[in-house]
Amino acid sequence: MNELKAFLADNLSGFSPKAIPNFIFSFIICATLSFLLGRVYVKYGNSLSNRKAFARNFLVLAITTMFIISVVKSSLALSLGLVGALSIVRFRSAIKEPEELTYLFLTISIGLGCGAGLTILTMIAFLGFVAAIWFNNRFQKDMEAQNLYLTITSTSPGSVDITNIVKELKKYCSAIKLKRSDESASAMEASFYVEFEDLEQLEQTKKALKDLHSSVSVTFMDNTRDI
C-alpha cells in the first residue's frame, strides 16, 4: 500500500485537477485549428503530392506537440530529458517541397501555443496565418496567370533546331526556360516554361514558331491549378 501511495504521489506531483478544464479547452482548440489548417492546405496548397493525405497528419502532430509541451513546461528535468531524447531519435519524413515543411511548422506552432497555455493568442495568430496564406495565394495567382507550359513537336528534326526555337521565343516571351528536349531521326520535341505579358504575344509566338517549318506543332498548357 505504501508503495502504491508513493507511486501515485510521484506521478501526480505537479498535477492539479483545476488544470483539467483548461487542458480540455486547449486540446479542443488545438484539434480544431489543426483540422482547419489541413483544410486550408488542401484548398490553397500548391504541392504536387497528395495534399489530402498529407493534411491528415496535421491533427495528430498538433495535439502530440501540445501534449508534450503541457507535460514538460512545468518541469526542468523533463525539458532536459526531451532535448536528450530528440538528440537521439531522428525523424525522417519524405518532405518533397518547401511548402510542406512550412505547413508542418505552422502545425507545430499551433501545438506549442496551445500546450503553453496561450490558446487565445494562438487563435489570433492562426487567423493571421490564414489571412496571409489567402492574400499570398491570390497575389501569386494573378502574377502567374500568363505562365504556360509550351511543347513544340516536329516530324522534320533536320529543319528545326533548338537554337532557332529559342531565338523566336526570345522575341515575344518575357521569360523562357527549357525543361526537356528529345530528338530522333523521325521527330523532335522540346518543352519550355514561358511567360507572356498578354495574349497578343502568345499569338505572335505561335505564328512565329509555325513559320519555322510546316511540320511544327505547338501546344500551350496552363502550368497552374485552379484552386
Judgement on whether residues 87 and 181 belong to the same structural domain of the protein: no
Judgement on whether residues 23 and 134 belong to the same structural domain of the protein: yes
Judgement on whether residues 88 and 153 belong to the same structural domain of the protein: no
What domain count does the chain have? 2
Q: Residue 54 domain-assigned? A: yes
Q: Residue 120 domain-assigned? A: yes
Q: From 143, 161, 184, give the residue that closes a domain.
A: 143
Q: Residue 212 domain-assigned? A: yes
Judgement on whether residues 36 and 138 belong to the same structural domain of the protein: yes
Average confidence (pLDDT) over 76-92: 55
Q: Residue 227 — very low, low, confident or very high, per pLDDT cuts 50/70/90? A: very low
Cα gap 32→39, rounded to integer Å? 11
Judgement on whether residues 190 and 216 belong to the same structural domain of the protein: yes
- Whether the pLDDT of residue 72 is over 80: the answer is no
- Whether the pLDDT of residue 174 is over 90: the answer is no
Judgement on whether residues 102 and 169 belong to the same structural domain of the protein: no
CB-based contacts of 9, cutoff 8 Å, min separation 6:
none
Q: From 143, 177, 192, give the residue that closes a domain.
A: 143
Which residue range is the domain that position 64 belongs to?
14-143
Q: Is the pTM of this model over 0.75?
A: no
Judgement on whether residues 195 and 84 belong to the same structural domain of the protein: no
Judgement on whether residues 53 and 119 belong to the same structural domain of the protein: yes
- Whether the pLDDT of residue 32 is over 90: the answer is yes
Judgement on whether residues 116 and 19 belong to the same structural domain of the protein: yes
Judgement on whether residues 43 and 106 belong to the same structural domain of the protein: yes
Q: Residue 91 domain-assigned? A: yes
Looking at residue 59, its pLDDT comes to 92
Q: From 105, 126, 143, give the residue that closes a domain.
A: 143
Judgement on whether residues 139 and 152 belong to the same structural domain of the protein: no
Q: Residue 160 — very low, low, confident or very high, per pLDDT cuts 50/70/90? A: confident
Q: Residue 111 domain-assigned? A: yes
Q: Residue 3 domain-assigned? A: no
Buried b (16+ CB within 10 A) or exposed e, 54-77: bbebbbebbbebbbbbbebeeeee
Looking at residue 1, its pLDDT comes to 63
- Whether the pLDDT of residue 215 is over 60: the answer is yes
The total number of residues shown for the chain amounts to: 227
Q: Residue 7 domain-assigned? A: no
Q: What is the CATH number of the domain that holds 151?
A: 3.30.70.2690
Judgement on whether residues 38 and 131 belong to the same structural domain of the protein: yes
- Whether the pLDDT of residue 47 is over 90: the answer is no
Going across the sheet that includes 147-154, the strands are 175-183, 188-195, 147-154, 217-222
Q: Residue 18 domain-assigned? A: yes
Amino acid sitting at position 227: I
